[in-house]
Amino acid sequence: GAGVSQSPRYKVAKRGQDVALRCDPISGHVSLFWYQQALGQGPEFLTYFQNEAQLDKSGLPSDRFFAERPEGSVSTLKIQRTQQEDSAVYLCASSFAGTVKPQHFGDGTRLSIL
């Protein structure tokens, strides 16, 4: 597609449920990033893939958060046993290899945990 596509746009889950968020990067983009954006805040880094390799997961807030990109294209961010503090917008971004090149962001998935 023309841009980074994320689904679903909105997700409501009950506390304790597992959720899966999908990201379809721009075709040909090697690098893929996940960010968490709390209300009124800037995005905060969660994890980074280069192709299928997860090179940095230092931003994942707990072991309940898991991300994968098995074929080096689509990525899934999974949150297990969701908590209310997980409520946020989850942004995916992709770029060509390297980081000086700007990242292209999707519209995000707004996750609300009840």
Q: How far apart are CA 7 and CA 23, in angstroms?
A: 7
Show contacts with another protein in window 74-103 (CB under 8 A): 91, 93, 98-100, 102-103
Residue 25 touches another protein, criterion: CB under 8 A: no
DSSP state of 40: T
DSSP state of 9: S
Residue 68 touches another protein, criterion: CB under 8 A: no
**Torsion over CA of 67, 4, 20 and 16, rounded to 10 degrees?**
100
Sheet order of strands, 5-7 included: 5-7, 19-24, 75-79, 65-68
| Site size with another protein, rule: CB under 8 A | 27
Choose which of 54, 59, 74, 96 interacts with another protein (CB under 8 A).
59
Choose which of 7, 17, 26, 45 interacts with another protein (CB under 8 A).
45
Residue 29 touches another protein, criterion: CB under 8 A: no
Residue 44 touches another protein, criterion: CB under 8 A: yes
For residue 55, CA distances in Å to 18, 36, 58, 105 come to 24, 18, 9, 19
Residue 1 touches another protein, criterion: CB under 8 A: no
Part of the chain binding another protein (CB under 8 A), chosen from 11-19, 45-53, 68-76, 80-88: 45-53
